[in-house]
Structure 1
Amino acid sequence: MAQHSASHTTCPQELIDLILDEVDPTEKDTLKSLACALVARSFRPTSQKLIFSDLTIDHDSILALQRLEVVLSASPHLAQYSTISAAILSVLDNVKSLRTRIDNWHYLDSTCEQAIYALITRSSLSSIEIDGATFQTNRQLVTFLQCFPASLESASLSKVFTNWTNLLSNSLQFEHQLRLTSLDLGTPDPVLFQWAIRAVDFRCLHVTFDDDAMDAIQRLLDVAINVETYHLSFYDCWPHAGSPNLEKMQRLRTLEISVELNWTEILQLAGQGEDNPLNDAMRALATAPPTVEHLVLNLDIYNPDELPNFMGSAVLNDLDEGLPALQDVALRIVSSYDDDAALQRGIRYVEAVFSRLHQRGMLTAIVVPRPNLNRIG
């Protein structure tokens, strides 16, 4: 009888890499539960690399470095995929998404800070989120921004400040341009706006409105002629001296406006309810270009039964007036209230306020859970 030897078919490594690259890098549990690294020896390098492609750096993670370095000393081949300290960050070469949540950067060891700077320059980086960074001078912040690689696609900067005693210099120079699909500025620092105006080409913009940065915000909007999606947030119950003017954003297609409605806070701080932050949002909306096709209005309110306090005294024209291209309006009540009946009353109320849009089938009114927002002010 003839002997048949068992055949062994191998899959090209390039195909294995392509398959594993489709795993969402934020779903690290998937990589672990599927035990991708244990399927075969050829699966191990790409699987381990993906586990460390999405990073968050904060004080707690820095304190855990000693334990991680013990693991790496026992498995030195993992060092090329791991994170956080000067020794580890210096060899990391596959970071795609990076978040830092470090309130006081000057408390960091200088070698660790420099390692984080080096990590930010990685050519693999496509997304960065900075939540907290204080710089002593404007020049230091400019140097930090100049670290962003040309590969970057989206940037979110919140609570990023320079020392307020520093005077802003118009001579600040930015050496290279970035092309971003998305830019989120949640900090009213003028240097950030100068950087965005002079050195960034972006298509999607999110800005949190602040009176202290009104001039800088307006200058940014005046050059945002290529922006197609704009999200403007109002998170302040105090009356604003002015509102952003959007009329130069002639390619704008999707406009999202978020406004926080806190009746108790307004009664306590803003002159017995004399100011209505919803009017600030409506004044900005009135300046929107006629190109807007999709409008999203987020009403962040705890108790929807308080909506009449704001909408009853707001200057609310029909949202389609002056927007001839408008196709749909999403009005979202953002709330963590646990009374379903009140939430449904809120939906019915806004549908009645904007009855014409509702009858034409252009209005979608829903309740969404309140997210954990990083707010300024």
Structure 2
Amino acid sequence: MSETNKHNAFRTVVRRELDRMVSRRLYFGVCIVLPLFCIFFMSTIFGDGQMENIPVGIVDQDQTSLSREVSRTVAAVPTFKVTRHYTDQEAARRATQAKEIYGYLVIPANFEADAIAGRQATLAYYYHYALLSVGGEVNGAFATVLGQLSMDPVVMQATALGIGEEQITSFLLPVTASNHPLFNPDLDYSVFLSNPFFFVFFQIIVLLTTLYAVGSEIKFGTGREWLSAAGGNIVTAVAGKLLPYTIIFSLMSVLANYVMFGLLHIPFACGFWPLNLTAILFVMSTQALALFIFSLFPVLGIVISIVSMIGSLGATLAGVTFPVESMYAPVYYSSFLFPVRHFTEICQNLLYGDYGFAYTWVNYSALLAFLLPALLLLPRLKKAIENEAKWSHLLS
């Protein structure tokens, strides 16, 4: 086929795919509506970036002025919203198990008397740790507020003995901790979760859309027409079909970066160009992965289930909420089979320090490497298209 005929065939395939896209509202939904919804959802889900008003309870078995002061101090913590006061621990424990509250403080009987007499007065708190993020916030808030309360009786006694405030501080806190959270000083959840979580959801959309765009040709018996429009060249057929989706999904990625780093002012250490080019490469590698999987077994109904599972695993193995290096060795090494894993590694490098290409060239190479298996299996895909009657029978 001459170069002119190849170009004409490519344009024919692109026009054919655009006609298919505008003929069904499904394509508008998955290519435009769902990505825009994901951008809006991930841009607003974390609110001010901090967990606030987490429901907790208080079990006050002392019912004294000191216990009521402790209750008011806990209620004043922005992280907490004291929704109920319980008379016994069993009721509070059942409420925590039912997730009516996510933790509770126990003020024991004789708490005020023990505190005034200088005896050991213990405040115990319990929290729901099945949800790690919420449990961590509740634990941290309780530890902070109770750490301050534990020093109050000592301060009062020392003050009564005439000891100065500076001296009290020196023996109560001989070592002063100074915390400086790197890259996220406000401990804002949106800084380190909004961008990667969007692309975790986005990869599932890209995978499923690519599968359906290619697989529907076999499912509805139009594969030979598609291949004929490409002049029998499977590379031209695949490139022309996927190009409109690549452009749309790349624009959605650029829009997501602009919304999160431009409008929401999430801090980042690099410019927009590295982020956008990386996102476009991620879209292409994800499409290649979907094409590779479908070429292995071109039965749309089954392969969609496989890709859905792969997309879900990618959310875990991206290393956003738990370091992949700390997982079991087989899980760690299998994480490199997911484009979103390499994309996350690159983005963390770009956002937190822009340390240079030397730290990310392996990940960039891996994203490019996803294109190779898809290209190698194109002859198998062509054979499946030519035998679409057999595959259509399997689908029915």
Shorter-chain TM-score range: under 0.3
Provide the TM-score with structure 2 as the length reference: 0.19
Provide the TM-score with structure 1 as the length reference: 0.20
Structure with the higher fraction of residues in helix conformation: 2
Higher Cα Rg, which structure: 2
